[in-house]
Amino acid sequence: MHRSGTTMAWNVFKFCTVLRGLGSIMILLVLGVVGVTYYSVVVTNYGPALYDGGLHSLLSAVVLILFHCLLVMLLWSYFSVVLTDPGSVPPNWRPGADEERGEADPLNDSEFNGLQSDSSNQRIRYCRKCNQLKPPRCHHCSVCGRCVLKMDHHCVWVVNCVGARNYKYFLLFLFYTFLETSLVTLALLSNFLTFFSDEEFPGTPGTLATTFLSFVLNLAFALSVLGFLIMHISLVTANTTTIEAYEKKTTPKWRYDLGRKKNFEQVFGTDKLYWFIPAYSDEDLRRMPALEGLEFPSKPDFDSQEF
């Protein structure tokens, strides 16, 4: 039995090592897909069509404008997720009065990370791997090797954890990826259908293969990202994360659910001008500690409390 447990731990360690080793490979893969798509849409198909004149040129201009706008937002969101620290536990963090009374967090996470337990305090969470106290909604990432505030998951595509500080950027990355891939799929649909017809395809066999590959890749990404986007929208409306959604199955009432509007503002901020860009207003940045779970009241009231 002991040997089996040791083998499992070793396999998990090797798996985490592999995920760490992916590193820049995944970033290069994403940029490679973007490059192939750009070549197919702009260089091969719609760029040359700008000089055809008439309605076809107008349609090409509209497609190219939308394509470049969405591409800028996609890459901006993507690198914001990659380069933004998801949130680390401050070295001097200590639980507030509510936590010390045993009201810290409905998810005790005892199976994986352990609890500090004594006669005076039974609910202060402690990570034995990081040797530090754990704020509410904080979890240890085995891939990153540290505790992450309001951790959602470790994403190999962004080579980073998704947590309190970059969850909004991750959602925007999914959103703009879905819009971009859907646009490309529709833009290349007629060319893709030409591949299976008797019509002559303009261009070389290389451009035909690139167009075919771009259509298939973007269609696959559009369908898969749509599923993830729907799932994360449901998580945002309930003010929960992927980890918490699994762990709170036995929790009758989720204490962090503040209503859909407040739950949305927890992630995207209160300033509507910043909702669709990977950035926060100065006012929302001042409220960031509570967003990270470092200053969360036992009974939240966001009409009078900052998030």
Which tens digit of pLDDT belongs to each residue from 15-33?
455 556 666 788 999 999 9
What does 16-83 look like in DSSP terms, one character per residue?
HHHHHHHHHHHHHHHHHHHHHHHIIIIIIIITGGGGS-HHHHHHHHHHHHHHHHHHHHHHHHHHHHHH
* pLDDT score of 99 more than 70: no
Let me know how many helices (H) and strands (E) the chain has, helices first.
9, 6
Catalytic residues: 155
Task: Calculate mean pLDDT across residues 120-134.
Answer: 75
* pLDDT score of 293 more than 70: no
> In terms of residues, how long is the chain?
307
Q: Which H or E run includes 124?
A: none
Q: What was the pLDDT predicted at 203?
A: 67
| Helix, strand, coil fractions of the chain, as percent rounded to 5 | 60, 5, 35
Answer with the residue of higher pLDDT: 12 or 235.
Answer: 235
- Domain limits, the chain: 24-84+166-237, 88-153
Q: Which H or E run includes 255?
A: none
Q: Which stretch of 202-211, 249-258, 273-282, 287-296 has the lowest confidence by average pLDDT? A: 287-296
pTM more than 0.85:
no
